[in-house]
Amino acid sequence: MRTVHLLSVLVLIAAVGSATAGSPDPQILADRIDQHLSARFKEEKAEPSGKADDAEFLRRAFLDIAGRIPAPCDVHEFLADSSPDKRRRLIDELLDSPRYATHFADVWRTQLIPEVLASAEARYFQPGFEAWLRQRLRAGVAYDAMVRELLTIPIAGVRQSPESVFRDPERPNPLAFFAVKDARPENLASTTTRMFLGIQIECAQCHNHPFARWSREQFWNQAAFFAGIEREGDGLFAPLSEDTERHDLMPTDGKKKVRALLLDGKEPAWKPKASPRAALADWVTSPENPYFARATVNRLWGNFFGIGIVEPVDDFNDENPPSHPELLDDLAKAFVESKFDVRHVIRGITLSKAYNRTSARTHPSQDDPRLFARMGLKGLTGEQFFDSLALATGYRDRVADRGAFGRNAGTPRERFLREFAPQGKPSAPETSILQALTMMNGPFVTAATNVEKSSTLKVVCELPGLTLNERLEALYVIALGRKPSDSELKKLEDYVARSESAEEPRRLSDVFWMLLNSAEFRLNH
Amino acid sequence: MNSQFSRRAFLGTAGSVGLSGWLRSFAAETTLDPRRKRSCIVLWMSGGPAQTDTFDPKPDHANGGPFKAVETAVPGIRIGEHLPKIAGHMKELAVIRSMKTKEGDHGRATFHLRTGNMPQGAIEFPTFGSLVSNERANPDSDLPAYVSITPRGLAPDSLSAGFLGPRHAPLIVGGRTTEVGLNEVADGGLRVENLARPGSVSKDQATERLELLRDMQTEFLSSRPGTGTKSHQSAYERASRLMSDSAAKAFDLGGEKQALREQYGSSTFGQGCLLARRLVERGVPFVEVGLGGWDTHDNNFKQVQSLCQTLDSAWAALMTDLKDRGLLDSTLVVWMGEFGRTPGINPRQGRDHYPNAWSMVLGGGGIKGGQVIGKTGKDGIDVEERPVSVPDLLATICGALGIDQQKQNMSNVSRPIRVVDPSGKPIREALT
């Protein structure tokens, strides 16, 4: 018995040992982050805000990694847990959950094919593109491999028999990336450099910018890597072909053909028969590439703090220096050393003191968002917002509501995604009048805050044996992922006591309405 | 936040004043106010109206089709026979017959005309109404600065405030309505979605809920200063102001005389034009009213004739009504679609998309009326004189509204972008 026990312990130790040997300790990265930020606090005489309490951290981590608020059981479990490493364990659990893949598929899709927000046609490609991203994220494919696959996805078609870009809407489909960009070399080149290298070269498309490092010629050099791609016919659904022998193209309004050259000015080693895209992808994702890792960690940082170390996150240029250059270097280094493991960087960021700070302002020095002296407020994506609202109100999309091509065009989720698509900077989220009216008077929230129609409210109001305070607390946990403060309870007791006890459910519905309409619910804080 | 004001707005206790006397004095007050800036009403003809059958008739050419050209209030200017009432307002209108653009696809052309730009990478160009809102929004007004009435057939990117942010997004009225009769319209065909309190919630309860929200989130808002909280607070404040009796009244056509309503015509478009007048009268700087159905690939003439009837009554009534109330000098009226239609007639008696030479009309405030600008050839295929580009047109509208077309706004890609592309030169002769 004793031997068996010992043996299993030994096996466990060996397993843990090998795991840590394979992947670097994210705590080291987290400490580096805080060293760099603290150095700046000293220089600027800034006073960072205190540590966020467990509930604030829990909601933030859920929204940032799982894409929705925590369920009440998550809240109770986390608040009751007294072990010192519970935040670290939470992050690990969230990163291993299917919700991570779902949410980050949304995140990457928004950045890679923003066209789907504007164009109804492009939206047909969304399920397939997200399915491809989810599959890769779930399988833990390294970021560089994912990017290489995306850029080099074979286009098997030739001009006489081009390849279809759209067969089954639900089937994983990275070709969507090419299709929604009209398969145009200019669009593909500008997305590639902006997204993967943090360089906005498209401004050089028409003319040389006086301050920019990049020339018009270089823009067309990049576009030439995609020159062989041809769309046969009009519209996003038209099939594609590729002539892999083509390494040059004629710029719009140009007189002379421009050939494919890397941004470092070198001509890649062409492999026979291979698409020129392969040479571009190899260079872009190389550990030696000076831009790739930096651009990626900066995007990730921006995702978790609302504002990049270089901001905007995709505009690296001499006129727009990083707020913390050494921090950016360290993050990039850690990313390369982890073999481009996005989750390692996320662990490092979320374990840092910086990410664990409260968003409540405690000192005027915290007003400069680029010091990261307090957690900034972030907007929610349409998906984060609706999925949180659905969880809080107990709503489920019915399969019967699914429209053609899996687009659910008429479902509440689809309507909310359109209406609540984020606008403005992530660190300066805005709310429109129509959004406010939708939440105040719209049918979804009206039903969710009606005692007769809302299952959530019914349970909270009718579960026998609960005190009023417990019912109020339940609503806070459901909507805001925290317990109400004493002063909040006091005010709400007074509010409910305004009418007779028979009216209590109606008063509780008012409280639930108030919570769903609050800025605290609407924002990631 | 001005607590007095927001309290009034939140509680919806704005004093109501007797309608008849109030309206008259209100109109007088707004037009006499020297600080009043020009408003803009755009009549947006979705689908692309046929210039040959409306404002650039070619009766002596095979391309002209069956419609006659008729004299207008300005000797020498002739337009299509199915716009007789508008012909009577020609002294207030400048017809541009030399629009020359490049896009023949509905979506892209609409985006181009309405933002002044072609889609470019990740830049989220604001639609023109949002640009005007950004210049003219009055923080004290209960009404938004940009209202879009029945914008059917417009893609979201052509109705978006883009990088200016949702504060300047249009308030959309009657977005999902179909053509309905007069009484149905009065019952709510033209309404702001979700503006009305749900039936299951009493007025007192709604007021209490808002009070509770305001009270309970004070601490969160003050501990987290910034755009996120400020914008949330402002949106709720503006939304509840819009729900207030006086603002909601702006959308209530029931207060208008029946005879006037009938002059505008019983179509949604006609009633939308009446609503537009009510809104500019209350100081809304930019209102657009959509009329769809102009994509006449088949059976062009029958369709255009019917559309013209709707258009003619509504537009003429709007011009007269604005003039009667002394609002015409302070309201620019723009008529246009995303492109014109082929001068040649296809075998299905239709006309197809044509951006190469088409017409649009400017009228009212800031416009030197009674003239035609530009000219197409006998067959209508090419612009022969004074081609006008999209930036030229927007620069002209800026000129009439007194907006600095050179002003730069910071875009979402951190590059400043001018209100109108610097290539745009206003049509000087069209401006007063």
According to the 3-state scheme, what is the secondary structure of A209-271?
CCCCCCCHHHHHHHHHHHCCEEECCCCCCCCEEECCCCCEECCCCCCCCEECCCCCCCCCCCC
Rounded average pLDDT over A412-425 = 80
A400: left (phi over 0), alpha (psi -120 to 50) or beta: alpha
Q: Is A51 helix (H, G, I), strand (E, B) or coil?
A: strand
Of B169, B228, B414, the CB nearest to A377: B228
Test A359 with B121 for CB contact under 8 angstroms: no
pLDDT in tens, A11-31: 444 444 444 446 789 999 999
B318: left (phi over 0), alpha (psi -120 to 50) or beta: alpha
Listed residue (B276, B296, B395) closest to B339, CA to CA: B296
A273: left (phi over 0), alpha (psi -120 to 50) or beta: left
Residue B200 to chain A, least CA–CA distance (Å): 8
Q: Encode burial over A141-176: b for 16+ CB neighbours within 10 A, e otherwise.
A: bbbbebbbebbbbebebeeeebeebbeebeebbbbb
Helix orientation angle between A342-351 and A325-337, rounded to the nearest 10 degrees: 130
Which helix (H) or strand (E) segment holds residue B291: the answer is strand B286-291
- The tokens describing A72, both together, are 């009440």
C-alpha radius of gyration, chain B, whole number: 22
For A82, what's the count of Cα atoms within 13 Å in the CB-facing half-sphere? 0
Test A433 with B238 for CB contact under 8 angstroms: yes
pLDDT of residue A332: 98
Residues of B in contact with A425 (CB under 8 A): 412
How many CB pairs below 8 A link A and B? Answer: 167
Spatial separation of the C-alpha atoms in residues B185 and A259, rounded to whole Å: 61
Please provide residue B171's backbone torsions phi and psi, each rounded to the nearest 5 degrees.
-85, 120
Spatial separation of the C-alpha atoms in residues A361 and A374, rounded to whole Å: 7
How does residue B151 score in pLDDT terms, banded at 50, 70 and 90?
A: confident
Q: Looking at chain A, which residue has its C-alpha nearest residue B229?
A: A519
Spatial separation of the C-alpha atoms in residues B400 and B288, rounded to whole Å: 16
pLDDT in tens, A192-210: 999 999 998 876 665 565 5
How does residue A473 score in pLDDT terms, banded at 50, 70 and 90?
A: very high
What is the CB neighbour count within 10 angstroms for residue A334?
A: 21
Substitution target from B201, B207, B215, B251 for chain A, most A beta carbons within 10 A: B201
Substitution target from B154, B171, B232, B284 for chain A, most A beta carbons within 10 A: B232
Test B216 with A488 for CB contact under 8 angstroms: yes
Q: Looking at chain B, which residue has its C-alpha nearest residue A437?
A: B194
pLDDT in tens, B335-355: 999 999 999 999 889 999 999
Residues of B in contact with A488 (CB under 8 A): 216
pLDDT of residue B238: 84
Average pLDDT, chain A: 90
Sign, CA dihedral A418-A420-A423-A427, equals negative
- The tokens describing B124, both together, are 């989220």
Asked if residues A292 and A197 have their Cβ atoms less than 8 Å apart, the reply is: yes
Adjacent-strand bridge partners of B287: B41, B147
Sign, CA dihedral B333-B337-B342-B346, equals negative
Asked if residues A274 and A182 have their Cβ atoms less than 8 Å apart, the reply is: no
- The tokens describing B56, both together, are 């650039």
Residue A10 to chain B, least CA–CA distance (Å): 50
Of B167, B240, B414, the CB nearest to A315: B414
Please provide residue A430's backbone torsions phi and psi, each rounded to the nearest 5 degrees.
-120, 150
DSSP B68-80: PEEE-SSTT-EEE
ipTM over 0.95: no
| CATH code for the domain defined by A382-522 | 1.10.3130
Q: Is the per-residue pLDDT at A68 higher than 90? A: yes
DSSP B35-88: TPPPEEEEEEETT---GGGTTS--TTSGGGTTPPEEE-SSTT-EEETT-HHHHT
Residues of A in contact with B414 (CB under 8 A): 312, 315, 320
pLDDT of residue B244: 85
Residue A95 to chain B, least CA–CA distance (Å): 27
Beta strands in A281-399 (DSSP E): none
Which helix (H) or strand (E) segment holds residue A448: the answer is helix A443-448
Substitution target from A430, A435, A482 for chain B, most B beta carbons within 10 A: A430
Pick the CATH number of B36-195+258-430 from 3.40.720.10, 1.10.3720.10, 3.40.50.300, 3.40.50.2300: 3.40.720.10
Which residue ranges make up each domain of chain B?
36-195+258-430, 200-250
Spatial separation of the C-alpha atoms in residues B390 and B393, rounded to whole Å: 5
Residues of A in contact with B239 (CB under 8 A): 433, 436-437, 440
Test A320 with B414 for CB contact under 8 angstroms: yes
Residues of B in contact with A187 (CB under 8 A): 121
Distance of CA A68 to the CA centre of its chain: 11
Residues of B in contact with A430 (CB under 8 A): 165-167, 227-228, 231, 235
Substitution target from B110, B172, B216 for chain A, most A beta carbons within 10 A: B216
Test B212 with A320 for CB contact under 8 angstroms: no
pLDDT in tens, A156-198: 888 888 888 888 888 999 999 999 998 999 999 999 999 999 9
Substitution target from A433, A446, A493, A508 for chain B, most B beta carbons within 10 A: A433
Spatial separation of the C-alpha atoms in residues A135 and B408, rounded to whole Å: 44
Adjacent-strand bridge partners of B363: B93, B333
Q: Looking at chain B, which residue has its C-alpha nearest residue A364?
A: B225
Of A187, A203, A519, the CB nearest to B217: A519
pLDDT in tens, B26-72: 444 444 444 458 999 999 999 999 999 999 999 999 999 999 999 99
- Amino acid in the structure at residue B78: R
